[in-house]
Amino acid sequence: MARRGVRLAFGVILSAVLIALPLSARAATPQDVTITIHRVAAINGGMWSATQPINDSGNFVVGAGHFDAFGGLLGGPPPVFGLHFFNTLSGQNGTITVELQLLFTPAGSGLLYEVQGSWLVDGATGSYTNLHGEGRVTGLVDFSAPTRDLTLIGEVH
């Protein structure tokens, strides 16, 4: 009988500890971050940099994704299109995989588009292994230019 009570008490304590662990990990204070992505059109990637608390920079590679077009005349460019893809940011302290969902709308004549969307940390390695974060994406992209810049603003913890 006493042995059963000890096992029950141990089980209750172990359960309480396991339940409390995820709560303490989620309790980390979110911190503001800005990530700048500088895409080189001729290659599948470019350079990135981030403010504190990440405070890192390096190269990135564009990963898998898909494209959706909305509207437009036959033979002409679509007036609005969406992209959903992943970027892997490699820095001195590890890698961060960011999922991006973007909406491009015409911002003038030619191939100039305003970019709005969202980002989410989808995975990380090295010092960033437990990194979580999300936010919004803004930018003005000229598809006739050799580079394209996006700004990711949000919070990480």
Per-residue pLDDT tens over the stretch 36-85: 999 998 888 999 999 999 999 999 999 888 888 777 666 666 678 899 99
DSSP string, 90-102: EETTEEEEEEEEE
Give the per-residue pLDDT at 11: 54
Residue 70 amino acid letter? F
- E strands present in 6-146: 31-40, 45-50, 57-70, 80-91, 94-106, 112-124, 133-142
- The candidate with the shortest Cα–Cα distance to 88, out of 96, 78, 100, 79, is 96
The H or E element that residue 148 is part of is strand 147-156
Q: Tell me the pTM.
A: 0.78
- Give mean pLDDT, residues 130-150: 95
Task: Enter the tokens of residue 18.
Answer: 């396991």
Domain boundaries, the chain: 29-156
Give the per-residue pLDDT at 70: 72
> Is the model more confident about 59 or about 24?
59
Residue 115 amino acid letter? V
Contact of 98 with 131, CB cutoff 8 Å: no
Give the per-residue pLDDT at 99: 97
pLDDT at 27 over 80: no
